Structure 1
């Protein structure tokens, strides 16, 4: 009787507590602010790709084809340099206000870009936009760690990676649509309503726990590394075009870059928290991966910047359709990234992918060089696909092998370091591609029109600045002009091929160390970001272990710990046993209503516990027997040992306290969150 009454009152409380229990699985109070964070990430990610298909129209209206590359480079340099600074400031002073500040800076930059009247203004405003964009990226992902538990963190951060994946496809298409049907200025104005919505939602709904981490921020190191990168990019973009290679300006920039690099090394050796620890370069795998990442960024973003110009100017494709034509490259990248990541995670073998990836990328560049004004759509799509396949094979694996090569303390900074070099490579590649294109175009147009009578108002200089002038040429001269543009653009791919081949050679020197259990290929979309997202070592391990938050992951971990403990139990029986150990009791029927485990599985697990005399009934509840308590203790120990084994040599004698706490948190969350109440609201009686 007492048990029946007990059950009835429990069921009444269950009805009241059901919504709260479901919120524990999918926390509604978290979904709204995370949606706003996704909007912020969308803004920053979209502006890396949406501009590419609008660039030919922008330079036609504003002039300055030779400065086309700087519209992309200014944004990337500013966001790359600002990223580590935003991360540290967010840790120290709180992320909510800083995130709102980043949105405001980004929106101001967007509005100014849309109103720009010449190329110099647009380039300057793009840099301002990039400063805000760097903050949007790093802070949005860091705030996820403030809002959700360790087990769920990687899953939510995967959503942000998916935003990058979506923008890599949607960016060129949206850029073309806005340019063709509205104006290129809407490429920037579209950010304003999205940003205002994100600001309002963040202000109203984002509640971050009050905590901060004191940092010694490496302002000088951040400034110096940004200055070195800027000097290198200026030399690459202005040398041989605006100024001669032997001119005082170019030589001066080169010398200044070297001096600043020496100063950066000196500062980083003394910095308490260096923006890029020099000790990482003592690890051969990190150094080689950094160089190969630089090469991948060089090839990828250089090509993505100039392929729309080739399609729109040479083949007369509309801005929208130029985005469609580039989809084979994006799909090839996504396909090979996904397959390579799965293969590496299952086999533990990875070296073949950077070797094959750099080789196929070099082949793709050589194929792109073969394109001309007569190439068919099928031929162009095939070349784009090969190029994308090559990039995808190497991009994702580089992040993985860097994580596998470093100690736990350096995991976060090494991960962001790998993508930092890819971002610098992207800036450098776009600048080099621009220099080669501009220097080749003038000479080829001059040769094409040598001895020809050009119409009034049409000159070689005018055609260099505005390709729309080709339409004003006599029909007999247009093919020569188109060929000059085509060969000037495809020549840049020929110049990039040896750089990719250098990556191919370096990839052979990578040492294929055995993968740690916790090092799994990151979600493919997480590797598409060109900017280094500063995440801590703790966050990186949370992402890697977030598979434990899936039903399949939990089933596998319970199967493993049962075997490790030496028992022959169903995975669900082990889980139920540990849940009873934690709460003191469990009512199987009610429990199945509140969680994602099917009722049949819970009932079967409960029956096995009763048959083995590991648990017994008290009314409708199951409680542990003395033997069951002993088995549960052994399973709990095996579960912690299993989690520790995933961390490999990171779980050494000197393991840091945050890693110890992470294992404890995950251990507890595998049978329910620390915040979770028992499934019918009754008081908890622990059986330790």
Structure 2
């Protein structure tokens, strides 16, 4: 038996969960359905927050006169979520799941209410940060609670079911956001979370019966928290203006790397570390974290830039262009239901290698797609993309929890969720920088031969459904955009190659049970 398999077997039947449902056929907790309803609503609440607010951003910026600070409406939320996620994971292992989960839901709900009441852009950013502090507890603990309530054999199926909340948020969020803004006001895109948060609190208080955990004598790892915060803040700030202020971004990256090295150093010496180095003793665990982080970063590139491709080069209106991500969401949900059967029969690295290789072929096609690339091919690839992502990332979720000591499940889930958040946040900044640099380089070449097109005109094409009817030469602009999309998806291909190699060299060669 492999080391990973042995650890997994121990994790599946640990005694510290509130409703241990091991492979021995123990009866499920009578309130499990109530708790899972709370988990589902909480997952939907935190995931729809991103899609619904994005729809209302133009109106919010206009009414609060916050154009210069618009990026911070999302960045403040993402930043505080990323920073607090591993901290809450550690607290959940030490103090118990229930009160940390409830605390997060309260903060998220209060933050939502105050965001909706914000009279200025500055207060909006502050209350969005408060929302993020709450989401930092809610997002990882939904997975941790599932791990506590279900055995390893059941877990993949339950996670697949819970993933439908993410799918619903992707489908409903933009439509709901548009409806609320049009029928009521932008304030309601935040107010809608208040009854959802209240429902979660009632269900958790009623149904969640957590066994008392032995007192650990929690000693906050202040040095670890400080270095982690510094690392994440510098890292996230660095990608904000990567193409505008590269020297500042470079300096911030250097500080982030130094902070990361210091974090590793202090965690190795800490008696009760925030991020226990012991979790990373098994290479397969580390592979799951890194793979999920990379694939989440790949996914944001697809969700953001394929609709932009259709809008700018195929003249599709934003709503129609946005539908190209729908097959991906649907097949993500469908694919995740097959994870349990796959991981019970195949070595994890083989599952990951096969699906990442398929994704690599698909994104490679986007990186060289000609101007006449058929629209239907984007939808076919969306389905393939969603299937591969749903299977691999769901597998990463299950194995991350299974490959650590039972006392570290919360911390492991927090680290995993941090990776899932960091991947899209960092890659969104990198993709934007690649696209902008590629456009500017080509524009300099065009201007050298006398073409009268500038960056503002290219931006008009991107933001106006293809710029149909524009006075400037589309024969010049379209190739510039196409080549820039090729450069962007070329970057995606490179990071997918990295993910593929990481899994190829995973030392585990046995099915994990």
- What interval of TM-score do these two structures reach, taking the shorter chain for normalisation? 0.7 to 0.9
1:178 maps to 2:176: yes
Q: How far apart are residue 92 of structure 1 and its match?
A: 5.6
Q: How far apart are residue 480 of structure 1 and its match?
A: 5.2
Q: How far apart are residue 30 of structure 1 and its match?
A: 6.2
Note closer, same or farther for the CA distance 1:369–1:183 as it changes in structure 2 (3 Å cut): farther
**Counterpart in 2 of 1:193?**
195
**Counterpart in 1 of 2:294?**
295
- Larger relative contact order (CA 8 Å, sep ≥ 6): 2
**Counterpart in 2 of 1:135?**
137
Residues 268 and 274 of structure 1 are in contact (CA less than 8 Å); yes or no, is this contact kept in structure 2? yes
TM-score, normalised to structure 1, is 0.58
User: Which runs of 5 or more residues in structure 2 are unaligned?
Assistant: 1-26
Note closer, same or farther for the CA distance 1:501–1:70 as it changes in structure 2 (3 Å cut): farther
Note closer, same or farther for the CA distance 1:436–1:144 as it changes in structure 2 (3 Å cut): closer
Residues 60 and 467 of structure 1 are in contact (CA less than 8 Å); yes or no, is this contact kept in structure 2? no
**Counterpart in 1 of 2:16?**
none
**Counterpart in 1 of 2:282?**
283
1:216 maps to 2:219: yes
**Counterpart in 1 of 2:21?**
none
TM-superposition CA deviations, 1:168-218 (whole Å, max 9, x none): 322232233135444394544432332344445656x45756835433333
Distance 1:59 1:482 in 2: 30
Distance 1:367 1:94 in 2: 48
TM-score, normalised to structure 2, is 0.75
**Counterpart in 2 of 1:326?**
325
Distance 1:361 1:432 in 2: 20
TM-superposition CA deviations, 1:82-129 (whole Å, max 9, x none): 123234445666665554442342234435655779988766654432
Note closer, same or farther for the CA distance 1:388–1:156 as it changes in structure 2 (3 Å cut): closer
Distance 2:294 2:129 in 1: 23
Distance 2:78 2:488 in 1: 20
Query: 1:87-102 alignment to 2 at 5 Å?
Result: 87-90=89-92, 98-102=100-104
Residues 337 and 392 of structure 1 are in contact (CA less than 8 Å); yes or no, is this contact kept in structure 2? yes
Aligned with residue 358 of structure 1, among 356, 362, 369? 356
Distance 2:305 2:123 in 1: 21
- How many residue pairs match? The answer is 480
Aligned with residue 45 of structure 2, among 43, 46, 56? 43
Note closer, same or farther for the CA distance 1:460–1:57 as it changes in structure 2 (3 Å cut): farther
User: Which runs of 5 or more residues in structure 1 are unaligned?
Assistant: 1-23, 520-688
Q: How far apart are residue 498 of structure 1 and its match?
A: 0.8
Distance 2:322 2:125 in 1: 23
Q: How far apart are residue 406 of structure 1 and its match?
A: 5.2
**Counterpart in 2 of 1:620?**
none
Q: How far apart are residue 300 of structure 1 and its match?
A: 1.7
Note closer, same or farther for the CA distance 1:372–1:171 as it changes in structure 2 (3 Å cut): farther
Q: Quick check: which has more Rg, 1 or 2?
A: 1
Distance 1:56 1:366 in 2: 34
Query: 1:128-527 alignment to 2 at 5 Å?
Result: 128-140=130-142, 162-163=161-162, 165-183=163-181, 185=186, 187-199=189-201, 205=206, 208=209, 211=212, 213-214=215-216, 215-241=218-244, 243=245, 245=246, 247=247, 249-339=248-338, 341-345=340-344, 347-370=345-368, 375-399=373-397, 413-414=411-412, 416-442=414-440, 460=456, 463=459, 467-468=463-464, 474=470, 477=473, 484-485=480-481, 487-516=483-512, 519=513
Distance 2:320 2:79 in 1: 29
Bigger mean CA deviation after superposition, 227-236 or 471-480 = 471-480
Note closer, same or farther for the CA distance 1:226–1:493 as it changes in structure 2 (3 Å cut): farther
Distance 2:140 2:73 in 1: 22
Note closer, same or farther for the CA distance 1:383–1:293 as it changes in structure 2 (3 Å cut): same
Note closer, same or farther for the CA distance 1:178–1:377 as it changes in structure 2 (3 Å cut): farther
Q: How far apart are residue 238 of structure 1 and its match?
A: 1.9
Residues 327 and 379 of structure 2 are in contact (CA less than 8 Å); yes or no, is this contact kept in structure 1? yes
TM-superposition CA deviations, 1:48-82 (whole Å, max 9, x none): 55556777888899999999877655544432331
Counterpart secondary structure, 1:263: helix
Query: 1:540-559 alignment to 2 at 5 Å?
Result: none
Distance 1:375 1:122 in 2: 42
TM-superposition CA deviations, 1:238-271 (whole Å, max 9, x none): 2232x1x3x2x23431332133123212220122
